[in-house]
Structure 1
């Protein structure tokens, strides 16, 4: 099981997303093949809010698990899912020999009414995890937020929710992306004082285009340190220079983490095997 792996060695993992169109599966499998050659310990697979691409998630996760022979961690969200939806997806995962999921609340779908949101089966990820632990044999990971979830009143409140996820069965945590390692070190200290003892994977996203700040990064709620802002200001208008600078920033960030005893690294690969390969080659050479 993955949770035992953390006890014996540093881990490397990636996050990928399934294709939006059925006709894109062949190219998606090629991306998985390329990432698989980098020998990650596991690959997590996302899906849209409310499980809108759950079937595609299972198909990609199955390819990772059964064709590549790499542990797959399938994302499961509960914000738009009923209990029967989760049981159906859990059954699909089991049929495809997938035993791990990343249990998330997920973002509220844009077409979800206030009434639907208020009457959802699961208010929080830990509620979903309690349900999955009782009704399935899935091994669960959880998400954590080094700078706290943007909806939380305080870091203390966020850590209390994190502790409940551990109590609900989370066997390890994958962090939201961050760009200032000091936030992560402070977060780990606070989590330890809260009695959270399961392993953490540090989530690193290489910023290879200035446009990422207006999409993924903004939605994550992660702060942008001056060093990264300066980098984008200097190279943002040059596509190739920005790509190289962003990769270098991620490499330096990971090296600093490793030098400070953080050895479980989760790269938000964004389905870009070339970028991911360059980072892996630099940090594990």
Structure 2
């Protein structure tokens, strides 16, 4: 089923979805199987698989899409990042997805792969996610989702300009928006309202990233532009970095409270950035279901 249909047919119930990426080592692959066994018990409405721009990572993305969709039976949204890819590459990738039975694509510009000396951008590469969305919609009968940034993309001139790009993505064919993770819900609510004021009418889903470790939250926040609120900074500063379990438990508690507020404010669904880990997301989902919120 296509994601717009899933979002439209929820009968007032919020959707649940998880993001995964291809495991990079044999041990990671074994851990991923356990992650899927655990999170699969939550019966997500769909899952998403990120896209590797490099050769081996790209092949791994195809394999994971095939495993989740055709072997485990999930509705899969396959990412595609247009960075550096010309029309021939894009067509080859999308054709491969079609062969796997994919009906849902998530289109982003993406960033050039770091540490891949073999990566050479195609001179005909599409410069923006909106161009990629148009390319896909003109050639393939699939649903397309796109990204939004509640605090603004790091490269955007302003949040207002960035929201103009969200509107452009919709105009080019994006049928729903999934937000980058954030830790202050009001930032998301403000973003949604500003999008509506600009004429964005498609569903906008919040992205949730539980805190997994001191180092990860700092690194990802810098890369993605998500501000760490004072409350969180203070709480984390009081937890020793070596006490990994305490950090995870704080992250579960914070994400639970964050999701409680989002659900009480009638968001369409929750999309979790799992980092291929099960414990935190599983605990948050169970907390919400015990309260009858999910």
| TM-score bracket for the superposition, by shorter chain length | over 0.9
Report how far residue 236 of structure 1 moved.
4.2
Name 2:254's counterpart in structure 1. 249
1:259-281, Cα deviation, whole Å (9 max, x unpaired): 11224100111111122111110
Kept after mapping to 1: 8 A contact 2:32/2:277: no
Q: CA deviation at 1:137?
A: 2.0
Write the deviation string for residues 161-192 of structure 1: whole angstroms up to 9, x where unpaired: 11111111111111101000010000010000
SS at match of 2:210: coil
Q: Could you tell me how far apart the structure 1 residues matched to 2:195 and 2:46 are?
A: 24
Q: Partner of 2:8: helix, strand, or coil?
A: coil
TM-score w.r.t. length of structure 1: 0.93
Q: Which residue of 1 aligns with 2:267?
A: 262
Q: Match for residue 14 of structure 1? A: 18
Correspondence for 2:69: 65
Identify the residue that residue 141 of structure 1 maps to in structure 2. Answer: 145
Per the alignment, in what secondary structure is the counterpart of residue 70 of structure 1?
coil
Partner of 1:122: 126
| CA RMSD in angstroms, aligned pairs only | 2.0
244-253 or 35-44, which moves further after superposition?
35-44
Answering whether residue 42 of structure 2 is matched by residue 44 of structure 1, we say no
Count of aligned pairs: 283
Distance in 1 (CA, whole Å) between partners of 2:184 and 2:105 is: 27
Q: Distance in 2 between matches of 1:146 and 1:264?
A: 16
Q: Which runs of 5+ in 1 are unaligned?
A: none
> Residue 102 of structure 1: which of 96, 99, 106 is its match?
106
Aligned to 1:232: 236
Structure 1 residues 127 and 186, CA, compared in 2 at 3 Å: closer, same or farther?
same
Q: Hey, what's the Cα distance between the residues in 1 that align with 2:246 and 2:36?
A: 26
Q: 1:97 to 1:8 in 2, by over 3 A?
A: same
2:3 aligns to what? Answer: 2
* TM-score, normalization by structure 2: 0.90
Structure 2: 5+ residue stretches without partners: none
Structure 1 pair 200–215 and aligned structure 2 pair: CA distance change class (3 A)? same
| Map of 2:177 onto structure 1 | 173
| Aligned residue in 2 for 1:277 | 282
Shift of 1:104: 0.4
